Structure 1
Amino acid sequence: MGLQKVTFKNSERQNLVGRLELPADRHPHNFAVFAHCFTCNKNLLAVKNIGKSLILHGFGVLRFDFTGLGESEGDFADTNFSGNVEDLVAAAKFLENNYLPPTLIIGHSLGGAASIFAAGDIPSIKAVATVGAPSNPVHVKHLLKSGIDEIQSTGKAKINLSGRDFTIKKQFLDDLETKSLPQTAKALRKPLLILHSPQDDTVGIQNAEEIYMAAHHPKSFVSLDGADHLLSKKEDSIYVGNVIAGWAKRYLMGIKEDNNTLKTKHEVVASLNAADGFTTEMKVGNHYMIADEPESYGGNDFGPSPYELVSAGLSACTAMTIQMYAKRKGWPVENVEVHTSYSKSHAEDCENCENDNAKIDTFHREIKLTGNLDDKQRVRIMQIADKCPVHKTLHSETQVINSLVAR
């Protein structure tokens, strides 16, 4: 995956800062624009996780800070919902001028409402997805209730939102009052996916129903049961990204089931960009997958670790070897489970160890057999487990021959 910082101008010629992420081959089949929630920014963990999931499905994703937020220029107090919509149009124009026009727009919370409005102003958009979106922009006023009276009397108020102070002006409220999302959704006439949690206590689930009822088909709803408004649990945001990617395949051009173009003349290729930490894209035979490290090691836990992959190979090979042998013998082995863990253990009684603190690589393998087998058959099967080719490779003298490929 490739991550790059990008800058483009809003309608007031101020710089908006974003992050453009591309799949490993840097040739996305479609581009998506992501709109973050009210007073959030492009670096919200949920935004990054949704984008990461889409990238693994071959999308290019642009997430950026609205005017006056994050790294973008401008004074937040002078912004409003209409300005957010204009920022999304500017983001789409940036992609069109420098890459390809975006075909998918995604918005979270108030960003979801903005995405529905912006989709009508961006001809290239073919599909719209919202996450926890209000059925009308004016819904955000309930977050500002502590300062509404002051805003009405003085024209502005400083309001604390999620631990940060924001100045909200009357023009912001006035702008919200002019926007009718149901009317806009009805006129949209583009495929719409609505994702919302029944447990969302910031934007209630009834908002999703109101958007759904207003929009024309094709429209879809997915319940994010158990998720909170900010999708603070990683598994929720990853799920959202995967659902959007799968849904979009029906409506966007250029998406194939196999959209990853990692190629190699070898059995395996691993591709890792510096910005992706440990999250590594791989082509293994005819299959695409992700390798990673657990969060405790600084990874994202998007896939198995390298040693887990080795253990997986040993487990799979052992199970296959046992079943092949049992079938040849005509023995009733209904199922084989091979549980494997890797560790470094202190070497005991090691003739070739030069010091007492030496450690050896150890695979702990537990084999569970289901079937009407006698004791002799079970003993023999345990012996056959050691005949697994991967087992033999781990015990044999092995070479790794490196060569540097010319750029």
Structure 2
Amino acid sequence: MPTERITFPGHDGSELAARLDLPDGPHLATALFAHCFTCGKDIPAARRIAARLSSIGIAVLRFDFTGLGHSKGEFANTSFTSNVDDLIAANGYLTERGMAPSLMIGHSLGGAAVLKATSKLNNIKAVATLGAPFDPEHVTHNFAEALPEIMAHGAAEVSLGGRPFRIGKGFVEDLAEGALAPSIGALNAALLVLHAPRDETVSIDNAGEIFLTAKHPKSFVTLDSADHLITRSEDAEYAADVIATWARRYIALAPPAPPPGAPEGVLRVSEADPEGYLTDITSSDGHHLLADEPLAYGGTNKGLSPYGFLSAGLGACTSMTLRMYARRKGWPLAHVSVDVSHNKVHAQDAETAVGEKIDTWKRRITLTGNLDPEQRARLLEIADKCPVHRTLERSSKVITELVDDPVPASA
């Protein structure tokens, strides 16, 4: 996943630090990610969600709000409104680069901010929230004991997540005035609400309020036992997969034209888990698949194995070939199913060295319909003419070249 480290001016002109995670393959759409209260762009949930979205062609911009992380400016002078304005500034930056976002994602208070910002933007087609509060003032419970001092003296230093932050009176008052109901009701975008029922920081009641206030199209998905920060990798990956699948319905993922000499485009295969075997597969036309190894071989079994994909290709091609032939002949073929199994056997009877193993695929074809014996026999012959069958049975040539590392080790 190529990543650009960039800066752009925030709501008050302060430089905001950001990462733009780009797809390895075709760039099909752009998303804007807003982090949780006092968090940052580099928390595990943000990184994992950005990685999964970029693997299917969606570039993701994640940045630190003013005064947080590596961004400049004073956090004490920020507010919920300034967070919204920072998001609008980020949207403007991407638009100027010719990458206007169509998807916004917000975590916790960032979720409230994207709801507010989306109501002011015309280019956003879909917005997803994770553990977002219905009332932005909800976050004040994180420093409730300091509220009297803040209101009496204008500001106070509080500890949040083991780090000191100076919270001003203006921040608290702005939160109190940040009612989301009007913005959610006027949202001109599809909405996806993700929330964990056991979230102890922002209760799931908030998700219910957001969902009920929004107009259709809207969806709600539970994050089950995830914590508020979505710290477990499996929870972040699940959230990202749900967002990616859901967003396809509402944002344009128009693929570019295939390159010359590759009529079906280029298939990009990229590691999703360097410590295991999980692999992202993205085609030029925007399809996304997962490959993995079974648990018994050290994988996580989240996708077909490489040989499983070969078997699937043979089975799918067989079914399609039979359907094309029966349709052209006008035969009453009602349904086709193909069971495929793969094994390596010793090639004792083949024209290979004794003891050498060859790959063997076994196909069991079931044809349903009012077919006579001659038609069934002919379809069995046609099965052997499917292109993938022929490819597997004849010699193929694989041309391999090494591409220079786009990110040298010394960088």
Q: Does the pair score TM above 0.5?
A: yes
1:363 equivalent to 2:361? Answer yes
- What one-letter code is carried by the residue in structure 2 that aligns with 1:134? P
| Contact persistence 1:279–1:299 (CA under 8 A) | no
Match of 1:294 in 2: 292
Deviation string 1:338-397 (CA, Å, 9 cap, x unpaired) is 122445x252536665585x4333334343454689999989976765454432332223
| Contact persistence 1:58–1:259 (CA under 8 A) | no
Deviation string 1:62-114 (CA, Å, 9 cap, x unpaired) is 22233455554578677653443343233234324443554553323211211
- Secondary structure at the counterpart of residue 283 of structure 2: strand
Match of 2:282 in 1: 281
1:110/1:338 CA distance change after superposition, 3 Å: same
How far apart in 2 are the matches of 1:331 and 1:226? Answer: 48
Superposed, 1:245-284 pairs within 5 Å as 245-247=248-250, 249=251, 255=252, 258-270=254-266, 272=268, 278-283=279-284
How far apart in 2 are the matches of 1:367 and 1:288? Answer: 30
1:377/1:74 CA distance change after superposition, 3 Å: same
Q: What stretches of structure 1 of length at least 5 have no aligned partner?
A: 250-254
| Contact persistence 1:77–1:167 (CA under 8 A) | no
How many aligned positions are there?
380
Superposed, 1:4-403 pairs within 5 Å as 4-10=4-10, 11=12, 13-21=14-22, 24-26=25-27, 31-43=30-42, 47=46, 51=50, 60-67=59-66, 69=68, 71-72=70-71, 80-102=79-101, 104-119=103-118, 125-127=123-125, 129-131=127-129, 132-142=131-141, 144=142, 148-149=144-145, 152=148, 155-160=156-161, 165-171=162-168, 174-175=172-173, 177-182=175-180, 185=183, 189-197=186-194, 199-202=196-199, 203-211=202-210, 219-225=216-222, 227=224, 228=226, 232=235, 234-247=237-250, 249=251, 255=252, 258-270=254-266, 272=268, 278-283=279-284, 288-290=286-288, 292-294=290-292, 307-320=307-320, 334-343=334-343, 345=344, 347=346, 349=348, 356=355, 358-370=356-368, 385-400=383-398
| Contact persistence 1:16–1:64 (CA under 8 A) | yes
Deviation at 1:270, TM superposition (A): 1.3
Deviation string 1:112-151 (CA, Å, 9 cap, x unpaired) is 211233346x656555624142111111234x2xx53256
| Contact persistence 1:152–1:170 (CA under 8 A) | no
How far apart in 2 are the matches of 1:166 and 1:35? Answer: 20
How far apart in 1 are the matches of 2:86 and 2:123? Answer: 15
- What one-letter code is carried by the residue in structure 2 that aligns with 1:315? G
Q: What stretches of structure 2 of length at least 5 have no aligned partner?
A: 151-155, 274-278, 403-411
The CA RMSD over aligned residues, in Å, is: 4.8
How far apart in 2 are the matches of 1:383 and 1:102? Answer: 51
Greater Cα shift, 383-392 or 107-116: 383-392
How far apart in 1 are the matches of 2:213 and 2:388? Answer: 58
The normalised TM-score by structure 1 is 0.69
Deviation string 1:305-352 (CA, Å, 9 cap, x unpaired) is 654443223112333455678889999764332122445x25253666
Deviation at 1:38, TM superposition (A): 2.8
How far apart in 2 are the matches of 1:102 and 1:321? Answer: 41
